[in-house]
Amino acid sequence: MAKARETKKDDQRIIKIFDTTLRDGEQAPGNSMNIEEKLRLAKQLQKLNVDVIEAGFPIASDGDFEAVKKVAQTIKGPEIAGLCRSSEKDIDRAWEALKYAGEKGRIHTFIATSDIHMKYKLQMEPGKVLASAVKAVKRAASYTPNVEFSCEDAVRTRLPFLAEVVEAVIEAGATTVNIPDTVGYTIPFEYFNIIKYLKDNVPNIEKAVISVHCHNDLGLSVANSVAAIQAGAGQVECTINGIGERAGNCSLEEFVMILKTRRDILPFVTNVVTEQLTPASRLLTNITGIAVQPNKSVVGANAFAHEAGIHQHGMLMEKTTYEIMTPESVGLLSSALVLGKHSGRHAFKKRLEELGHELDETRLNRAFDRFKELADLKKEVFDEDLDAIVSEEAREEDHYKLEHITVTCGSFAVATATVQMEINGVTVRTAELGDGPVDSAFKAIKKLTKSKAKLTQYNVGSITGGTDAQGEVTVRVSEGNHSVVGKGSSTDIIVASAKAYIHALNRLSCKQKRLIEAV
């Protein structure tokens, strides 16, 4: 069979990558991040070389405002966007945070244009919606020429009205126009035709970049994004690991690797450094505590694993028989073993940097000490182990700290946990009985912290293989309207459980404190 012709580089069109992990991604339950965590991820997105980082929704809260401001002040290279509704107050607040990015600050304003949204949510007539959109863009353009406008629920909008809005906002000063599939409703063929309709029926369409923002409610967000660029879109909005509202957004790593892998028929390229995809995925997992499913494309644990005998035989003969991309191309090393107990601080620091982690000297020292302790317990230390270590050292200042835990249990004994903690600098200790070792440990922690939070989820996994592997525990706790995820790791699963529970209580405490300060 003849080999498909690869598109020449001169014929390829550059597609901008607009990352909204810090905004739309963070809106998904359990994915909330504090300012420090947002900045850590933004630095990794800078290494990934995305074109635009949507850092948040500045008017949503003081915390979101400060996060956007900090990212705008710190990140160099990508443009920094802030989302705002089509109101003067929102737009003014957005620019107050974005101005520190200078010409790379992007105001992203929006209003819904579908009949269902206009009637039931906005309770506005189409003419008023159109006027609001134009007024918002003009207001944003008075601050910066870098203005993006989104027609919320565009795919369920009447095409003539959609074209009318797009033409008007471009005339008002929008340089990017987003046509989002807000509820993940469309299919590739339909989406292609929507973009083509705009290309054919909006007279000034060439004065703006068409952007697309697809949700994954029907599992088609990536496919729809590919169809859109084939129809003429020039920017794709996506997130690391595909996180986002409901079923998530278009997965950045999947979309980028589709273009890189299928250059034979897709004449498009991105500026993304694909070797930073796996570090970005792992960093996000460490920050949120939400694991990527093993069979996830590109960055899942099984993405480059081969178990079937016929597959293994093919791989040994020629890797391309069963691998359409190389592990190295997405940031995986051919060797999983990274460091051992004889490794030094320099090698440790260098490997952390390769994995996308940046720690200050104090946290680096603590992380190195933990690495040495772990290396004495395990025969092999893997990248995933290092990620877990850094995850714990990069957390916010803890209100509660675990010092010691001892548990006794057995077939003929009632489980008893003795827990010693430091709370606001004071050492406290207690013992509690429970239905098992984890239950007794959690009861003791809850008694010491006087927490009223309810444990709603408890998951146990293994970070790596082997009997000496670190156990990884993820918990979710809720109190009132607040719900947070906590994560802990250790070669002792009871210790990992206690760490995860305390981490969740710390996050809950910080979240409640920030809300009180904002009032």
Domain boundaries, the chain: 9-288, 335-393, 400-518
pTM: 0.79
**Pick from 244, 348, 249, 349: which is nearest to 288 by CA?**
244
Q: What is the mean pLDDT of residues 367-382?
A: 77
pLDDT band of residue 316 (cuts 50, 70, 90) is low
- Neighbouring C-beta atoms of residue 393, cutoff 10 Å: 19
Q: In this structure, are residues 251 and 29 in contact, taking their beta carbons and an 8 Å threshold?
A: no
Q: In this structure, are residues 292 and 49 in contact, taking their beta carbons and an 8 Å threshold?
A: no
User: Out of 211-215, 436-440, 503-507, which region has the weakest mean confidence (pLDDT)?
Assistant: 503-507
Architecture per CATH, domain 9-288, reads as Alpha-Beta Barrel (3.20)
pLDDT band of residue 251 (cuts 50, 70, 90) is very high
Please report which helix (H) or strand (E) contains residue 129, including its range.
helix 126-141
pLDDT band of residue 168 (cuts 50, 70, 90) is very high
* Domains 9-288 and 400-518 fall in the same CATH topology: no
User: Out of 296-305, 414-423, 430-439, which region has the weakest mean confidence (pLDDT)?
Assistant: 296-305
Q: In this structure, are residues 69 and 42 in contact, taking their beta carbons and an 8 Å threshold?
A: no
The whole-angstrom separation of Cα 471 and Cα 460 is: 7
Would you mind telling me the total number of residues written for the chain in this entry? 519
Architecture per CATH, domain 400-518, reads as 2-Layer Sandwich (3.30)
Q: Is the pLDDT of residue 480 over 90?
A: no
pLDDT in tens, 174-195: 999 999 999 999 999 999 999 9
Task: Locate 5 and state its tokens.
Answer: 């012709």
Q: What is the mean pLDDT of residues 143-149?
A: 98
Residue 366: the pLDDT is: 84
- Residue 178's φ and ψ, nearest 5 degrees, are -95, 135
Q: What is the mean pLDDT of residues 497-501?
A: 94
The share of the chain scoring above pLDDT 70, in percent, equals 88
Task: Locate 427 and state its tokens.
Answer: 């050492």
Residue 311: the pLDDT is: 44
Residue 286: the pLDDT is: 83
Please report which helix (H) or strand (E) contains residue 444, including its range.
helix 437-449
Helices 383-393 and 277-288, packing angle to 10 deg: 50
Q: Is the pLDDT of residue 352 over 50?
A: yes
